[in-house]
Amino acid sequence: MTPLGEQIKNLIRLEGPISLERYMSLALGDPRYGYYMTRDPFGAKGDFTTSPEISQIFGELIGLWCADLWLRMGRPAELSLVELGPGRGTLMQDALRAMKSIKGLIPALRVSLVETSPVLREAQRAALEPSGAPIEWHNTVSSLPQLPTLLIANEFFDALPVRHYQMHQSQWHERLIGLNEHDELIFGLAREAEKSIPLKAADGSLLERCLIGEQIMRELAVHINQWGGAGLILDYGHIHAGFGETLQAMRGHHYVDPLAEPGDVDLTTHVDFERLATIARAQENVVSGPIIQADFLEALGIRERGQSLIKSANPAQAETIISAIHRLTDRSPKQMGSLFKVLSFRHSEMPIPAGFNN
């Protein structure tokens, strides 16, 4: 067992079984041993790969998505550009490079990165310093600049802790993590029923809720409503809410047991886009999508951009570009083009953003 696993077992011995939310918060964010706090998990040698790490075109298109909105907002003199969970900073690096082609945009930018990991903050600093744009870091979304805002979150919401509830004898019970007789971490159910959930379901049904993500979504929508602008969320998840769990653990590009090595494996869940959209609308934001990533990237011109890069590429580079575009837009089941969804929310006076029809 990992050192963090031993720490979690001690906690359970002292306090009794803990919620999945607490377990995930420790496994991902414990200051000493948390998964994101101690490493750079991305790329072929890491545990998983994300869209901006697959192709520079991804970040470039998102940069131009922002640039187009800035122009149609009437070129505000100051624009807060925010990214949640920027990883290595690759998306923002590619976005800023693409934005340089739009006169006056870079000097208007104030870039804020919401990031809790010291290791990844350092990687972001190294990637973004050469851009010359002013960059600041925030631990949470509550302290974002009070300015018109464009906000990006790629694979951020899937990394937030969730709670699980299971229907047992017609009542919801929270799923907890405790210890079995061999001193191993196991899932169980809280004795007390959770009376605050009004949903009805068959016995055995599982309900997954990301209350932390919902709270962040609420704060972002309030921010946009107050200061103007728009947000773009890209992540794997479902268009319609339903029952069932989606918790998964990844190590070295393989699925592993989520309770086996806390702190050493990535834990994620699928994002409930329907709920995020409902929360944004409740704060008087207008919502576009969710649509599948393939439709979004193709509408933004991923193929045309690929063609123009290929013109100055050698055959091996051209092959890499073609396969990266295919990976990002593959519509087969469970591939990135269809599994990933894109949702945008905006102030009621903003135009429809690029990539969406309404």
Q: Which of 30, 53, 174, 295 binds ligand SAH (CB under 6 A)?
A: 53
Q: Which is nearer to ligand SAH, 212 or 286 (CB)?
A: 212
- The long-range contacts involving 43-47, CB below 8 angstroms and separated by at least 24 positions, are 47/250, 47/251, 47/252, 47/253, 47/265, 47/266
Q: Which window, 113-121, 269-277, 320-328, 335-343, contacts ligand SAH (CB under 6 A)?
A: 113-121
Answer for which of 2, 7, 38, 116 binds ligand SAH (CB under 6 A) is 116
Question: For 252, phi and psi rounded to 5 degrees?
Answer: 50, 45
Residue 55 lies near ligand SAH (rule: CB under 6 A): no
Site membership for ligand SAH, residue 115 (CB under 6 A): yes
Q: Which stretch binds ligand SAH (CB under 6 A): 79-87, 94-102, 202-210, 253-261?
A: 79-87
The interface region with ligand SAH, picked from 15-23, 151-159, 192-200, 281-289 by CB under 6 A, is: 151-159
Contact between 85 and ligand SAH by CB under 6 A: the answer reads yes
- 287 binding ligand SAH? (CB under 6 A): no
**Of the candidate residues 34, 63, 87, 145, the single one contacting ligand SAH (CB under 6 A):** 87
- CA-CA distance, 351 to 353, in Å (whole number)? 6
Q: For residue 343, what are the β-bridge partners?
A: 233
Question: Binders of ligand SAH: how many residues, by CB under 6 A?
Answer: 19
User: Closest separation between CB of residue 29 and ligand SAH, Å?
Assistant: 6
Q: How far is CA 285 from the centre of its chain?
A: 20
Residue 193: burial class (beta carbons within 10 Å; 0-12, 13-18, 19+) = middle
Peptide bond into 290 cis (omega under 30): yes
Nearer to ligand SAH, 120 or 220 (CB): 120
93 touches ligand SAH by CB under 6 A: no
CB 90, min distance to ligand SAH, A? 6
- Alpha carbon 233 to chain centroid, angstroms: 7
Looking only at the bridges linking them, the beta strands covering 171-179 and 18-19 are antiparallel
The stretch near ligand SAH (CB under 6 A) out of 65-73, 84-92, 171-179, 242-250 is: 84-92
Q: Which of 33, 65, 70, 156 binds ligand SAH (CB under 6 A)?
A: 156
Structure tokens at 131: 């851009």
**Which residues lie across from 287 on neighbouring strands?**
345
Q: Please identify which residue in 55, 112, 117, 269 interacts with ligand SAH, judged by CB under 6 A.
A: 117
Distance CA 318, CA 322 (A): 6
For the CB of residue 48, give the shortest distance to ligand SAH in the complex, in Å: 8
Radius of gyration of the chain (CA): 21
Q: How far is the CB of 155 from ligand SAH (least distance, A)?
A: 4
Answer yes or no whether residue 36 interacts with ligand SAH by CB under 6 A.
Answer: yes
- The position carrying tokens 């063609």 is 307
Q: Is 3 helix (H, G, I), strand (E, B) or coil?
A: helix
Report how far apart, in Å, the C-alpha atoms of 189 and of each of 167, 192, 194 are: 10, 9, 11
Q: Does 63 bind ligand SAH (CB under 6 A)?
A: no
> Per-residue b/e over 14-46, b at no fewer than 16 CB within 10 Å?
eeebbbbbbbbbbbbbbeebbbbbbbebbeeeb
Residue closest to ligand SAH (Cβ): 85
What is the closest distance, in whole angstroms, from the C-beta atom of residue 263 to ligand SAH in the complex? 14
Burial class (CB in 10 A: 0-12, 13-18, 19+), 77: exposed
Write down the least CB distance from residue 45 to ligand SAH, Å. Answer: 15
Q: Which of 73, 79, 114, 339 binds ligand SAH (CB under 6 A)?
A: 114
Closest CA to 62 of 45, 36, 38, 82: 82
Stretch that binds ligand SAH, among 108-116, 189-197, 241-249, 341-349 (CB under 6 A): 108-116
Query: Where do contacts with ligand SAH occur on this chain (CB under 6 A)?
Result: 36, 42, 50, 52-53, 85-87, 91, 114-117, 120, 154-156, 159-160
